[in-house]
Structure 1
Amino acid sequence: MLASTLIALLVGCEEGSRGAGADGENAAAGKSRVPAHSEKATVPPLPIEKYLLDTGQELQLMKASKVLITHCMAKFGFDYVGPSFNTTENLSENGTNRARRYGVADVKTAKEHGYHLPGVKDGNPEASAPRMSDAEIRVFIGDADPNSGVRSGDRSNGKVIPKGGCSGEAMRKITTDTPHDLASEINKESQAKSLSDPEVVAVFAAWSSCMKGNGYSYTSPTGISEAVTNPGPERTEIATAVADVECKKKTNLISVWHGVESRIQNQMIGQKEEALGSEKRHMQAALKIASQVLEETS
Structure 2
Amino acid sequence: MRRPAVFAVSGIILLTACSSENSPQKHETIKSGEINSAGTPWSEKSHLPIEEFLLSSEDAYKISNAKNMAIEDCMHAKGEESFKMPAAVKLPTLLERRYGLSNLAEAEKYGYAFPEGTPAPSPGPLTSRQKALLGDRGKPGGCYVIGSSKVTGRADKATATSPHADKIQSESWRKSFVDSRVQSKFEEWSQCMKSKGVPYKTTMDQPEKNVPMEIQKRIASDAVVCGLSTGILDEWLHVESEIQEKMIKGDISALAKERGEIQAQIKNADKVYKLHNIR
Query: TM-score with structure 2 length normalisation?
Result: 0.66
Map 1:1-298 to 2 at 5 A.
40-43=40-43, 44-73=46-75, 80-85=83-88, 95-96=93-94, 98-118=95-115, 120-122=116-118, 124=119, 127-133=120-126, 140=134, 142=136, 144=138, 161-162=139-140, 166-176=143-153, 180-182=161-163, 183-224=165-206, 227-228=208-209, 234-298=213-277
Structure 1 residues 62, 129: closer, same or farther in 2, change over 3 A? Answer: farther
Per-residue Cα deviation, 1:129-173 (whole angstroms, up to 9, x for no partner): 4244495668757264xxxxxxxxxxxxxxxx528x644443333
Asked if 2 retains the 8 angstrom alpha-carbon contact of 1:115 and 1:228, the reply is: no
- 3-state secondary structure, aligned to 1:95: coil
Kept after mapping to 2: 8 A contact 1:194/1:264:
yes
User: Do the aligned residues in 2 keep the contact of 1:207 with 1:251 (CA within 8 Å)?
Assistant: yes
Measured against aligned partners, the alpha-carbon deviations of 1:198-248 in whole angstroms (never above 9, x if no partner) come to 2223322332333233222223221527x4478xx8331222122212322
Taking a change above 3 Å as real, the CA distance of residues 51 and 137 of structure 1, as seen in their structure-2 partners, is farther
Identify if the C-alpha distance between structure 1 residues 192 and 236 changes in structure 2 by more than 3 Å, giving closer, same or farther: same
Cα distance, 1:289 vs. partner?
Answer: 1.8
- Given residue 81 of structure 1, which amino acid in structure 2 is its aligned partner? K
User: For the Cα contact (< 8 Å) 1:41–1:99, is it kept in 2?
Assistant: no
Q: Contact between 1:69 and 1:80, CA under 8 Å: does it hold in 2?
A: no
Alignment gaps of 5+ in structure 1: 1-38, 145-160
Structure 1 contact 54–94 (Cα < 8 Å) conserved = no
Give, in whole Å, the separation in 1 of the partners of 2:242 and 2:276.
Answer: 44
Alignment coverage as a number of residue pairs = 230
SS in structure 1 of the partner of residue 219 of structure 2: helix
How far apart in 1 are the matches of 2:262 and 2:63? 10
Counterpart code for 1:195: F
Q: Provide the rounded CA distance (Å) in 2 between the counterparts of 1:94 and 1:110.
A: 16
| Cα deviation digits, residues 4-44 of structure 1 (max 9, x gap) | xxxxxxxxxxxxxxxxxxxxxxxxxxxxxxxxxxx953142
SS of equivalent to 2:270: helix
SS at match of 1:128: coil
C-alpha spacing 1:247/1:94, structure 2 compared with 1 (3 Å): closer
TM-score norm. by structure 1 comes to 0.62
Secondary structure of 2:42's match? coil
User: Which structure has the larger Rg?
Assistant: 2
Distance 1:62 1:189 in 2: 27
**Alignment check: 8 A CA contact 2:137 2:144 kept:** no
Q: Which runs of 5+ in 2 are unaligned?
A: 1-38
Counterpart contact for 2:55–2:162, Cα < 8 Å: no
Q: Residue 67 of structure 2 aligns to which amino acid in structure 1?
A: S
The CA deviation at 1:106 is 4.0
Kindly state the Cα deviation for residue 260 of structure 1 after the two structures are TM-superposed: 1.3
Q: 1:74 to 1:185 in 2, by over 3 A?
A: farther
The aligned amino acid for 2:42 is: T
* CA distance, structure 2, for counterparts of residue 58 and residue 99 of structure 1: 16
Distance 2:235 2:267 in 1: 38
1-structure distance, mates of 2:176, 2:247: 12
